[in-house]
Amino acid sequence: MGAAYFYHLTDSPLEVTLPMLIGKARGAGWRVLVRTPNPMLTKRLDDVLWQGPEDGFAPHGVAGGPHDADQPVLIGDTPTEGFPCVMSVAGAEVTAEEINLAERVCILFDGWDEAALQHARGQWKSLTDAGCAAQYWAQEQGRWTKKAEK
């Protein structure tokens, strides 16, 4: 049974935090799905991962290609089956069932965007009301601090 980890981004943008979390997930041996709600964001994140530092390169692909099943990291709006780790960005939806089937679901949201904050609060409530384990992490002075757990 998995858990949802909410990441409230304030000090580091998505383009910095996502590769760091992907590296940790890959270090745990997990295959990662980065679920995005739109193709423009998918393209941007694909570019970010290709341009990352040489020692931090994350082999990946964009959903819809012929080798999706072989990708250690897949970016796109696709079902979570076969991915022990799912990273939801920019409000991409995840269900309680998906959380329970995964090892970990990371929900990353922009802490300076009021709509993103409200959406994340709604996700927290609906997922914890459905019985999912959840943790809320926020950035403080450049470090991640766990603020809540349910």
The confidence score (pLDDT) of residue 58 equals: 75
- Choosing among 3.60.21.10, 3.30.360.10, 3.40.50.10110, 3.30.470.20, the CATH entry for 3-149 is 3.40.50.10110
Q: Are 75 and 61 in contact (CB under 8 A)?
A: yes
Burial of 5 (0-12, 13-18, 19+ CB in 10 A): buried
The confidence score (pLDDT) of residue 53 equals: 63
| pLDDT (tens digit per residue) in 93-150 | 999 999 999 999 999 999 999 999 999 999 999 999 999 999 999 998 889 999 999 9
Residue 91 in this model has a pLDDT that exceeds 90: yes
Q: The whole model's pTM is what?
A: 0.92
Closest CA to 89 of 68, 66, 63, 119: 119
- Tokens linked to 88: 């939801």
The confidence score (pLDDT) of residue 141 equals: 86
The predicted model gives 6-21 an average pLDDT of 94
| pLDDT (tens digit per residue) in 18-67 | 999 999 999 999 999 999 999 999 999 988 888 866 666 678 889 998 89
Q: Which helix (H) or strand (E) holds 106?
A: strand 104-110
The predicted model gives 65-70 an average pLDDT of 89
Closest CA to 87 of 49, 115, 53, 57: 49
The confidence score (pLDDT) of residue 45 equals: 93
Instruction: Show me where the domains of the chain are located.
Output: 3-149
